[in-house]
Structure 1
């Protein structure tokens, strides 16, 4: 929370503790210790700016009715040196507190002073966090789930950064294993079909049917001709993979940059095999007594670690896909010593997570340092109908085709409208609408409206200026107070978003800020008002513009000055 919100909260806690001591000294309350109590912002502002449950939680300790306790506390609370004007008792004994005007002035000063850095805090204490997201197989284009995962992961990383963590974004490149083998077989079939015909070369039953596979094969043939037609199968497949895989990885990088995602690291699975890290993980698990052999395969003994048993190494000596993943997360948390690793994964990984954590626990890793965000599926909707497409046939809507149809701003905003663990419908029609029904348009219009206001005022000779505390104290209309109150909550929203791994809080914050500004703009004139009030309202508008720009920047969404 912002400096002044935290200061106000600290003042309340201290005053309640002080009031308890005074009431006990006056024998209005028994000499028992006051239990821990909570201070929270009521959902209904009519119930105050803060509410305390101190009287409720101390009923048993004091052997008194909460209402009587609340009356004793309220009689001994003195708010003269705080940001609060009064305390009221509500219901069975809640204590409700109301801000005085000085608080709202302090908030506006804070926004104006900090500008682009307003909202940032040291909550994270500089802890190192690695956020891994998207990590699509480089064997084909990114699908719509990757589009959602990209928006969520990137915005979560931005939120964590603003909350005071040292954040790195990472893409895990699966450039080894079964998927790459299947990629090579698919490329090989398409390449040989160019020379032998489709009837002569059957396509792998579980191969990749996308047009990109055929295109790679054709381009490879343009460079190499029939040179590899009669080459040994392994040599042919390796040559095709060595040609096509780097192009696909570069394509992923280019497409994600269009989506405004820039990674700090592209970590290749192949390096884990080359360095011996995969082999070492297997040996370490054996040394820790966490494995056993069955039917010629090596199994992980999961029960002691809260996991089911699973195969680590097949009977043919080939590790299963989970082993490099164990080595990769060991690398994150032990080799590179990140304080926290966060994975943004699809919901289909729900059974995978206990296996991964169980193996890491067996290796002596504190698995509380690994958090996995399971993201639910996305349904594309157009004109109220679900858009169906098959990934296997190669007709799926990809990240690139989505961004050809939908502005990046809309995609990033709309994909962050819901919590990651909830399913969502992405309305393709809504995403391109240029009216208030489109949430991102609505927020951007508020920013453009603010910029237009300042241009108009400047043309009329009215410049933004600093205001005295007395002038800012003129901002007493309900629409003004609500707006300032929401500005004061921005830092706290970032912190809660970071704590909950929920960047959707930021889109909700932006929408509410835009709504409150539009209400203020309709209810509170600037032109034609007395000069001090007009200056104060313009100062408030400047603060709203700053915070709206900050939250849009956090989401990597443009803040247009005109629309």
Structure 2
């Protein structure tokens, strides 16, 4: 039985029992997988949620619901547990029917409509074009693109956006570093080192149609800034594309500074009463909106403060029609949360709803049990290309997305190079490859899906496998709601383990001269259903699902 069908049947049963004593909505019927299979296939706390409204103890209400739910076709048993939980057990036929549902639904299985039509802007990576992408940016590339895919699976319309910072002090230091490299001089004290600087400088010179020796210092720096940033950003774009991450929008910081967006944002906030003048500067009265201090928007010398760009950029996004704006930031940006949420509220929006900030933690690359240090300026940076070259795109993306972003992450190079069950991405991909091999062997032996008898899927490993498959829609929905792609990866690993145990216990192809029976055909449906869900799960992480390994 499909979880959605079971939820609808439960809702009808609960409404029938409660009657006019309370209003019951679909949101009151929450189905979850029990932590232990001994407690059944599904559990719900509906009685506990409704007890106060109905005016009776939760266990007493659960007892009334128990008899009604027991009559739902396909429900083999219902038990009242603890303070009022209802544990449901499905009969084999009802549980097994899910295999056919998944195969017939194909890639649509697991997808939902809880975010249907919502316009979302997801800004991630957005590294300054002063060098190759390091591991922090690489983690955001893997997590951000996976999150976009998961949100899209729930009906959201996601725009992947890269904020291109092509101005400011860091860009000036980058330009000075290029000039120094071109002149054969040491890297400036506050500049960027590394072989890539010399390479970019040489490419700028080779592409120049003017004699660089004719330029004075200011003109020379501007020339290297303009062309060096363009080349560096081109490399970043290519690295991301090779990593399977393609952005819909590259938004230039220069645009909000040059087209009047800053002035318009300040005027909008002034109209709302959040702007004031003091000491010759213009301020946002952000302390009234939860910030720890008021923020300068325009300095006393008339120059816009950095925060003014944030104001303009947020307003720009909202005026482009984005209802929800997500910004993924590095671990050193915790201090941004207060001011950015105050900004959101100042525009009349709801913090943490119209604007969300996701703060990620650092990534450490480990080799021989020792961390490899990174420093873009010192030239010892570990780049996206370095990681991909060693372990490949699939292993890199999967390993970066399978852990919660709010925890530091160690990437073990030796582990990710292993073709063994110790390597999580290999473990999951191998499970999918095995489903494909089983399907090929079944075809060669004459086993097809011409018949399906769900009641034959009664082995304990089949019950566990079907239970996990039934949970996939909930996992995708929860991953989208909580903005946690790692939940999909962990689900895929659990599903792979259950499939491998089923493979060892149940045969699709008969042994020897045994005849082909409906149990073999039904198991092929279950095999193919598992392959489909593994394929979808890996796809939401931007990881391939090989048919052979």
TM-score of the superposed pair, with normalisation by structure 1: 0.89
Provide the C-alpha distance between the structure 1 equivalents of 2:329 and 2:503, rounded to a whole number of angstroms.
Answer: 42
Contact 1:430 1:438 in 2 (8 A): yes
Is 1:561 paired with 2:547?
Answer: yes
- The Cα of 1:422 is off from its aligned counterpart by 1.6
Contact 1:39 1:50 in 2 (8 A): no
Provide the C-alpha distance between the structure 1 equivalents of 2:41 and 2:440, rounded to a whole number of angstroms.
Answer: 35
Aligned to 1:338: 322
Contact 1:126 1:165 in 2 (8 A): yes
Residue aligned with 1:342, SS: strand
Is 1:256 paired with 2:240?
Answer: yes
Among 348, 357, 367, the residue aligned to 2:332: 348
Aligned to 2:138: 147
Aligned to 1:118: 109
Aligned to 2:169: 178
- The Cα of 1:114 is off from its aligned counterpart by 1.4
Matches within 5 A, 1:306-325: 306-307=290-291, 308-325=293-310
| Structure 2 residue runs without a partner (length 5+) | none
- The Cα of 1:287 is off from its aligned counterpart by 4.1
Q: Which moved further from structure 2: 539-548 or 65-74?
A: 65-74
| Structure 1 residue runs without a partner (length 5+) | 22-30
Matches within 5 A, 1:349-368: 349-367=333-351, 368=353
Among 33, 36, 40, the residue aligned to 1:44: 36
- The Cα of 1:4 is off from its aligned counterpart by 2.4
Matches within 5 A, 1:143-292: 143-191=134-182, 193-194=183-184, 197-198=185-186, 203-224=187-208, 227-229=211-213, 231-292=215-276
Contact 2:344 2:355 in 1 (8 A): no
Q: Which moved further from structure 2: 357-366 or 487-496?
A: 357-366
- The Cα of 1:362 is off from its aligned counterpart by 2.0
Aligned to 2:527: 541
- The Cα of 1:412 is off from its aligned counterpart by 0.7
- The Cα of 1:341 is off from its aligned counterpart by 1.2
Give the aligned length. 540
Q: For residues 13-52 of structure 1, give each alpha carbon's deviation from its aligned partner in whole angstroms, at most 9, with x where no partner exists.
A: 321332344xxxxxxxxx9648985533222222222333
Q: Which moved further from structure 2: 426-435 or 31-40?
A: 31-40
Among 7, 16, 20, the residue aligned to 1:9: 7
Q: Which moved further from structure 2: 6-15 or 260-269?
A: 6-15
Q: 1:417 to 1:455 in 2, by over 3 A?
A: same
- The Cα of 1:225 is off from its aligned counterpart by 9.4
Q: Which moved further from structure 2: 318-327 or 496-505?
A: 318-327
Aligned to 2:538: 552
Q: Which moved further from structure 2: 351-360 or 421-430?
A: 351-360
Q: For residues 288-333 of structure 1, give each alpha carbon's deviation from its aligned partner in whole angstroms, at most 9, with x where no partner exists.
A: 4433344443332211121121222233332222221221111111
TM-score of the superposed pair, with normalisation by structure 2: 0.92
Matches within 5 A, 1:73-84: 73-75=65-67, 77=68, 79-84=70-75
Q: For residues 469-496 of structure 1, give each alpha carbon's deviation from its aligned partner in whole angstroms, at most 9, with x where no partner exists.
A: xx22110011011111211221221111
Among 383, 407, 413, the residue aligned to 2:392: 407
Among 371, 382, 385, the residue aligned to 2:370: 385
Aligned to 1:472: 454
Provide the C-alpha distance between the structure 2 equivalents of 1:107 and 1:418, rounded to a whole number of angstroms.
Answer: 29
- The Cα of 1:60 is off from its aligned counterpart by 5.9
Contact 2:447 2:520 in 1 (8 A): no
Q: For residues 171-212 of structure 1, give each alpha carbon's deviation from its aligned partner in whole angstroms, at most 9, with x where no partner exists.
A: 111112222222222223333x33xx55xxxx5432222322
